[in-house]
A and B are shown apart, each in its own frame.
Chain A
Amino acid sequence: MMSVDRKLAITARIAKEIRRDHRSLALIIGAPIIVMSLIGFSFQDQKPVLNQAAPALIATMAMFFVFVLTGISFLRERSQGTLERLLSTAVSRSDLLVGYLAGFLLFALIQSIIILMYTLFVVDVEYSGKIWDIILILLMVTITSVSMGIFVSTFAKNEFQVVQFIPLLLAPQIFLSGVILPTSQLPGYFQGISRVLPLTYANRALRDIMLRGASLSDVSLEIGVLALFAVVMLTAASITVRKT
């Protein structure tokens, strides 16, 4: 009971902090819209290309923004000493992980859904499939990305270092997960790497749903692999969450 209360308290605190930081809140909502606008409207005369690229772009943007949001927020917790203070209380590893995950997930999901809705209804990308199926895939990308942000913040001492993880962790996923070139056209050794990247499976699932109208059961393999990535990243985050 007390443990549930601690988890709720951590989630509520994170929500309160982000809600009160008006500039960050505006950027959480505004930045993805600006980026998707730039991409969307630069392709407005080549709609078929945009329609093909949109599923991968949505997943990539969701992963990118969520990773930055979580990585930097959690790093701040470590560098300001609040994590150390928290760890001197009765708080447990699961209180921390569930509390932070729920708190960040709330805003990360809002961000992911804004990216999706803006791409579908303002940039006007054509899609088939059910919107809830698309949201479920984005939820799994978001959970993986939140856990990755918590995990990576362990290895950074400041915001500058967290940002350096973006080219290290996200750029290979953008190049090798089929966002730019289909994975089948990559050299053999890169195809091997692409098979261990979560974005590859998110892109594949979203393409099947959005372009070919696939159902969730049609993409069950991709969902299974994404769930595995989420579990692996959550485990990694839980191992390192107490490190200050």
Chain B
Amino acid sequence: MTAPEITTTLNAAVSISGVEFAYGNRPVLKGIDLEIPRGVAFGVLGANGAGKTTLVRLLIGRLKASAGSALIFGEEPGPALADSVGYMPQLNALYEALTVRENLDFFARMLSLANKDLRANAVARAMNVVGLSDRADSVMSELSGGMRQRVSLGAALVHEPELLLLDEPTVGLDPELRATFWQHFKDMTEAGTTILISSHTMDDAAHCDTLGFMRDGVFIATGTPDELRQSTGKPDSTLEDAFLHLSRASA
């Protein structure tokens, strides 16, 4: 019985079992179970305060679960996995006085890309992916909000990680830029990268391969967008209808 489970865990990009976490006396994650296979875009959908960011912080190793286990490629999250994981936080979290190139170069160095030539290539590739090659030498303070988001994404993928953890990456983006971001994500999953994306908008949800609806620290449902739409039992249901339906059912 145990062997197949271990195999599943090792093959999964993310494997979470019975994870609980509390900030002081306030429980935020109340028993999360999740298995994300490699090469898919998994969306964690939920309202503000549902526990999405806490889950992402747990997966980058910044928080420790009080119960259960969270594994990435079969290992505990932490610095040892940093080279395989890319993280885009909710805040842009970039250095305002540095240029686009300097920011990406700095984070590439933090991600163990010590060789100057290899790093220059990686930075150039990342700028190309996020469409900012022509703004390489612009300092952050000269960029628009959308461009900063793109630099932030570039910093998360500069080392070509196998798993991308993106915390609300499309917040504040205009529809055109949002579509561009999703095109990047699609290209990446097709190339084998696994993406976990937290969001509270159903626009994002529709682009994901699989989704987990989160409410009050638990997943109330997981499945493909189509499966979740069908859960309402009504034809022509939207993902928003499905979320509201499942949310009310779980209350």
Contacts and interface: CB of A to CB of B under 8 A. Distances in A.
Contact of B82 (A5, A20, A90): A90
Given A16-B98, A244-B62, A90 B112 contact: yes
A82 B91 CA distance: 9
Contacts of B6: none
B61 interface: yes
A81 B98 CA distance: 15
Given A1-B114, A2-B114, A90-B79, A84 B109 contact: no
A12 to B, nearest CB: 9
B98 A89 contact: no
A85 B95 contact: no
B97 A84 contact: no
Contacts, number: 67
Contacts of A20: 97, 139
A89 B62 contact: no
Interface string B158-178: 000000000000000000000
Nearest to A5: B114
B67 interface: no
Nearest to A4: B114
Interface residues of A, number: 23
A85 B102 contact: no
A17 B95 contact: yes
A86 interface: yes
B65 interface: no
B100 interface: no
A54 B87 CA distance: 51
A100 to B, nearest CB: 13
B83 interface: yes
A87 interface: yes
A92 B112 CA distance: 12
Contact of B62 (A13, A82, A88, A90): A88
Contacts of A88: 60-62, 82, 85, 87, 89
B10 to A, nearest CB: 23
Interface of B (DSSP majority class) = loop
Nearest to A18: B97
Interface string A83-123: 01111111110000000000000000000000000000000
Contacts of A13: 95, 98, 102, 106
Contacts of B61: 88
Contacts of A21: 97
A81 B91 contact: yes
A6 B83 CA distance: 14
A90 B82 CA distance: 5
Contacts of B211: none
27 contacts: A1-B114, A2-B112, A2-B114, A5-B109, A6-B110, A6-B112, A16-B102, A17-B97, A20-B97, A21-B97, A80-B91, A81-B90, A81-B92, A82-B94, A84-B93, A85-B87, A85-B93, A86-B110, A88-B60, A88-B61, A88-B82, A89-B82, A89-B107, A89-B111, A90-B83, A90-B111, A91-B110
Interface of A: 1-2, 5-6, 9, 13, 16-17, 20-21, 80-82, 84-92, 244
Given A6-B110, A89-B79, A90-B83, 8 more contacts: A2-B112, A2-B114, A9-B106, A81-B93, A82-B95, A84-B62, A85-B107, A88-B82
Interface of B: 60-62, 79, 82-83, 85, 87, 89-95, 97-98, 102, 106-107, 109-112, 114, 139, 155
